[in-house]
Amino acid sequence: MFLVKSSVALMCVLGLLSVDGDVIWKLCSNRQCLCRPHSTHAVYMNCSGGNFTHIPTPPNKSLPLYLTLDQNILTNVTGEMFHNIPKSSLRSLLVFNNIISNVSADAFHGFTKLYKVVFSNNRMSVSSLTSAVASLKNCPLTSLTISSAKVRFFRPDFFLPLAHLSNLSLSLVNNSLEVYQSRVFAPMKGLAYLNLRGNHIRRMNITDNYTQNIRRLRLEGNRFDDFPNLCPNDKSYFPELTQLDIRYNQIRYLNKSYFDCLDTLKILRLDGNLILWVQKDQFAGLKSLERLSLADVGCTIGKVESGAFSSATLKQIFFRNNHIEFSRSSKSPTLAMFDGCPSLELLNVNYNVFSYLREGDYDLLFRNLTNLKTLLMGGCGINVIPKAIPKHLKNLTLLGLYHNEISDLEPNFFSGMNNLRQLLLGNNEITSVKRSTFPSNVFNGSGFVDLSKNPLSCGCESLWLIETFQRHPHLFRAEWHKEGYVCHSPKNLLDTQLRDVQISEKKCLLSWSVLMILLVGSSVLITLLVILSLLYYYRWSLIYLVFMIRHKEQEVVDRRQFLYDVFVAYSYDDLAWVKQHLMPVLEGSDGLKLCIHNRDFEVGRMIVDNIVHSVENSRKVIIVLSNKFAKSGWCQFELNLIQRHVIECGQRLLVVVMLEDIDPCHVTKSLRAMLQTTTYLEWGEESHTRQAFFNRLRLLVKRPLQSTSTRKMSV
């Protein structure tokens, strides 16, 4: 019965492990554990999912053994438990997800080649863990993991049995430590890697004489409010430290005097903190710094000074995923933040906001990064590739501009970038590209262009792209994006894979001829429409011109007496004023004969002929000027005829009556010229104003004592 239960459990685990990459696990010959087949240099045995009280015999006792005890219900670990395993064969022991509460003092006695031990997610008390570490005293450990054990603190002598070890990696991940106690780790002078990720550490309690040879220190996911002081009195607690990971804490301020003494530090990771301010030369004191990561801090960071990342040795900066708006605003990070980085080779500013920058701003950003080899600006809201990139960054080998809004690629844009090998332009708005867009070196050797997930057109404008893609798909990373190259136009090819498009140069040339015919036809039609529009817009001027030519040819000398004393030019909308005010005074009181359109024009005669005949047979001309008159096409035409007549026969013929102020938008060139050269009478509403108006008007239009004038009319 036990064997059946164990086999079922093992097959469940097998189902999980079989999908782990290329690793395939099968039942061992003991039928109780899983083994990795085809391994001739070692035995990898996973005894998971069973109720083991001892470890089954491995298939080959002479080979090194890597043993995993996962998801069992083990409660005790004793030396007797391993009696089927040769003590010289066990190399690695992973014990996790059990319910172990006790480890005997002799549990690992005699394992002379045990290098790696993992106790993870068990129920072991501190005393049981103390016993377990003590039993490892004579093992040549290089890696020890005690994780998810809910440990709040360790006694000062807890790791004393491991004091003799060199190059030890110690992982205390996901416990409940609240303070870094230097006296706990001080005995382990051979401790090279210390992982304290996911604890509750708020501070580091370090004695004055403490120094540690740790090369890698991980403190991410703890509760530091400020960067810990690792350099009291300019003395380094970690003189050999090369990597410091303090991501995802609650650090607000970076006091550079707290870490300036870390002369060997090469990698510093500060991602996900609550940093408010990055000062000038913030990291310049780190003499060996090569890689700096300051990502996921955009929600709090308020100021980044010019030269904040200045460093003579810095080669890689990760400033991604901060969603910071780069602009010229004083509240935004300065565009010169990367000044003073002559050795910088990689800059990652993915998922920040650059959409507010102009071309000159990019010059400030990139001007001193001439040695840059990799630039990543994905998800930055860029719609036009900055010209500062080919101008300043000629040594780039990789340029990432994915997840932007780029729609157009200029021919020969990258022509001066002779080292460019990899160009990432996926997830933009690009519809077509030409061969001249990319330098030849992009398609040489291991080079490629990623254009996946763009709204590509599969028409003739993309002939080069389609043919090249179908012949050499690896040049476009097609094997990475099997569904990423899809046609978005024309409609008959919508959602067709680029590799399946049927297109030829001959077909495109035919299409080009048809296109040229359409273009020529469209051009002729547009030209015709423009001409007709101009003719309509200037119709009154043209009518006037034609009339002038016709009457010039028919010029005659007129010696008749005048038929009318006054010709009145007015808008039909002002006829009521003419009848109510003008006619009663000039015709009624003064006995003058007025020529009024609606009354005196000859029926059946062309309007133009009526106007000319009446004007040339009138002694005076009164223009009743209003906004309605100024807007009327016929009135403007009439005004042109009158002005020509006045020019030839004398300015004194013309009298202008202004009924109201004319809106500037209605004032034509002719009207403006008339108002500038002619004194006009203004109509008013008060009785005394009207009396003065008619007194002046009578003087201007009264008959002379002898009316024997003769005139020559040529309109």
So where are the chain's domains? 540-713
pLDDT tens digits, 182-233: 999 999 999 999 999 999 999 999 988 899 999 999 999 999 999 999 998 8
pLDDT tens digits, 476-488: 988 888 788 999 9
Q: Which CATH number fits domain 540-713: 3.40.50.10140, 3.30.470.20, 3.40.50.10490, 3.90.650.10?
A: 3.40.50.10140
pLDDT tens digits, 600-610: 888 888 888 88
What is the pLDDT at residue 704? 74
Mean pLDDT of 351-367: 90
What is the pLDDT at residue 79? 87
Place 22 in a pLDDT band, splitting at 50, 70 and 90.
low
Torsion of CA 279, 283, 284, 286, to 10 degrees: 160
What is the pLDDT at residue 29? 83
Buried b (16+ CB within 10 A) or exposed e, 61-99: eebbbbbbbbebebeebbbebbeebbeebbbbbbbbebe
What is the pLDDT at residue 30? 79
What is the pLDDT at residue 14? 43
Mean pLDDT of 391-409: 94
What is the pLDDT at residue 17? 45
Q: How far is CA 301 from CA 278, 297, 304, 438, 461, in A?
A: 8, 6, 8, 38, 46
What is the pLDDT at residue 140? 94
Report how far Cα 112 is from the mean position of its chain's Cα atoms: 58
Place 557 in a pLDDT band, splitting at 50, 70 and 90.
very low
- At residue 329, does pLDDT exceed 80? no
What is the pLDDT at residue 549? 56
pLDDT higher at 488 or 671: 488
- At residue 669, does pLDDT exceed 90? no
Q: How far is CA 389 from CA 309, 399, 408, 410, 668, in A?
A: 20, 9, 16, 13, 53
pLDDT higher at 503 or 452: 452
Q: Which residues contact 36 (CB under 8 A, 6 or more apart)?
A: 23, 24, 25, 44
- At residue 309, does pLDDT exceed 90? yes
- The answer to whether the CB of 254 falls within 8 A of the CB of 227 is yes
Q: Note the helical H segments in 371-460.
A: 388-392
Place 331 in a pLDDT band, splitting at 50, 70 and 90.
low
- At residue 695, does pLDDT exceed 60? yes
Which two structure tokens, joined as six digits, stand for 409? 């690629």
CB neighbours of residue 353 within 10 Å: 18
- At residue 330, does pLDDT exceed 70? no
How many Å apart are CA 426 and CA 606, to the nearest integer?
71
Q: How far is CA 514 from CA 87, 355, 489, in A?
A: 85, 40, 19
Place 562 in a pLDDT band, splitting at 50, 70 and 90.
confident
What is the pLDDT at residue 265? 97
pLDDT tens digits, 137-192: 989 999 999 999 999 999 999 999 999 999 999 999 999 999 999 999 999 999 99
pLDDT tens digits, 55-92: 888 988 899 999 998 888 878 888 888 888 988 999 99
Task: Please tell me the number of Cα atoms within 13 Å of 715 on its side-chain side.
Answer: 22
Query: Can you give the pTM of this predicted structure?
Result: 0.68
- At residue 532, does pLDDT exceed 90? no
